[in-house]
């Protein structure tokens, strides 16, 4: 895709593709020269004004990353999720795509777990322990997440765990919008390769980035969303997308343990959908 594309046309095209994604249309093909194509009407609705959608959810597709999302990916024709994840990791490389690469990260925290998992957990970004060990959710919050997973009657090795951004934000600050928008296409590709039945967004940052919805946790929790990652092929007969649920981030639950009961309700909803039986109660 030429980087010299007229900015207005580029913006209009990105808006139109985002609009199609909201309708559940993900597959596009190239016909002819874009420069000779007719102008595209921009859609009036901006993402900041986007109302909460009831059933169709797709990750944020911005003007800046839309062409990245639409570019054919090396894993697209690979059926084995282990090989697919490996190809995504190789594509990520020693990533310098956003400013987090030069703000003190020790390493990229790609993701961990079962490449064929029915259940995926997505947090916002690595903390100090994760940055040190190269694995998501290994500190105190990770310990609590492990207990939550155990309480669902499964093991950490059974699920896949990743974050919206793969490098530690300095001082554990919230990842900024441009960082999330630059990094999240790799998360979308991971989800597309793993093809989980359920994705659980841990906390507001993960939820808002996955759902492209700006709403408080009280509105985001308590229901399933139909989720198809941006860039995934809706025509893939082996996967029609995942259910997405939102619950509190374990780090928040450590600060406010009174909310553990609410988080447990969210997980019970997921367990019911997946047919899981609880073994233990959360700590
Ligand atoms: S956060 Fe993601 S996009 Fe930014 S440098 Fe790290 S891997 Fe690259």
Matching residue, tokens 């919230």 = 174
Strands (E) across 85-196 are located at 112-113, 119-123, 160-163
Strands (E) across the chain are located at 56-57, 112-113, 119-123, 160-163, 198-202, 225-227, 242-247
* C-beta 165 within 6 A of ligand 1: yes
- Provide mean pLDDT across the span 135-147: 97
Q: Which two tokens stand for residue 21?
A: 């994604």
Phi and psi, residue 191, nearest 5°: -60, -40
* C-beta 166 within 6 A of ligand 1: yes
- Provide mean pLDDT across the span 125-134: 97
**Measured between alpha carbons, how far is 136 from 107 in angstroms, rounded to an integer?**
12
- Provide mean pLDDT across the span 248-263: 97
CA of 110 to the centre of ligand 1 (A): 10
Is 60 exceeded by the pLDDT of residue 47?
no
**Measured between alpha carbons, how far is 243 from 271 in angstroms, rounded to an integer?**
12
pLDDT of residue 55: 38
Q: Which two tokens stand for residue 103?
A: 């703000």
Give this prediction's pTM: 0.79
Element (H, E) at 266: helix 260-274
Element (H, E) at 244: strand 242-247
CA of 114 to the centre of ligand 1 (A): 22
* C-beta 98 within 6 A of ligand 1: yes
The end-to-end CA distance of the chain, in Å, is 51
Q: CB–CB of 123/164 below 8 Å?
A: yes
**Measured between alpha carbons, how far is 15 from 37 in angstroms, rounded to an integer?**
16
CA of 131 to the centre of ligand 1 (A): 13
Per-residue confidence band for 28, with pLDDT thresholds at 50, 70 and 90: low
pLDDT of residue 22: 56
């Amino acid at each position: 895709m030429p980087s010299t594309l007229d900015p207005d046309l580029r913006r209009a095209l990105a808006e139109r593709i985002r609009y199609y994604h909201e309708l559940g249309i993900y597959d596009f093909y190239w016909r002819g020269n874009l420069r000779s194509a007719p102008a595209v009407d921009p859609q009036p609705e901006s993402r900041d004004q986007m109302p909460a959608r009831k059933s169709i959810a797709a990750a944020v597709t911005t003007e800046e990353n839309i062409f990245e999302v639409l570019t054919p990916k090396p894993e697209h024709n690979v059926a084995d999720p282990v090989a697919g994840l490996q190809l995504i990791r190789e594509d990520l490389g020693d990533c310098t795509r956003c400013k987090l690469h030069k703000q003190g990260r020790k390493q990229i925290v790609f993701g961990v777990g079962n490449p064929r998992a029915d259940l995926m957990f997505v947090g916002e970004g690595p903390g100090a322990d994760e940055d040190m060990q190269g694995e998501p959710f290994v500190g105190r919050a990770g310990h609590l997440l492990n207990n939550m997973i155990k309480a669902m009657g499964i093991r950490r090795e059974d699920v896949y765990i990743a974050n919206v951004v793969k490098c530690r934000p300095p001082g554990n600050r919230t990842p900024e919008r441009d960082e999330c928008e630059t990094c999240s296409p790799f998360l979308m590709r991971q989800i597309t390769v793993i093809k989980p039945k359920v994705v659980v967004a841990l906390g507001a940052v993960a939820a808002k980035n996955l759902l492209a919805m700006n709403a408080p946790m009280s509105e985001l929790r308590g229901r399933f969303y139909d989720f198809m990652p941006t860039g995934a092929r809706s025509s893939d007969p082996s996967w029609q997308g995942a259910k997405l649920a939102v619950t509190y981030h374990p780090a928040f639950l450590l600060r406010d343990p009174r909310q553990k009961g609410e988080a447990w309700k969210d997980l019970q909803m997921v367990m019911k959908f997946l047919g899981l039986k609880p073994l233990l109660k959360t700590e």
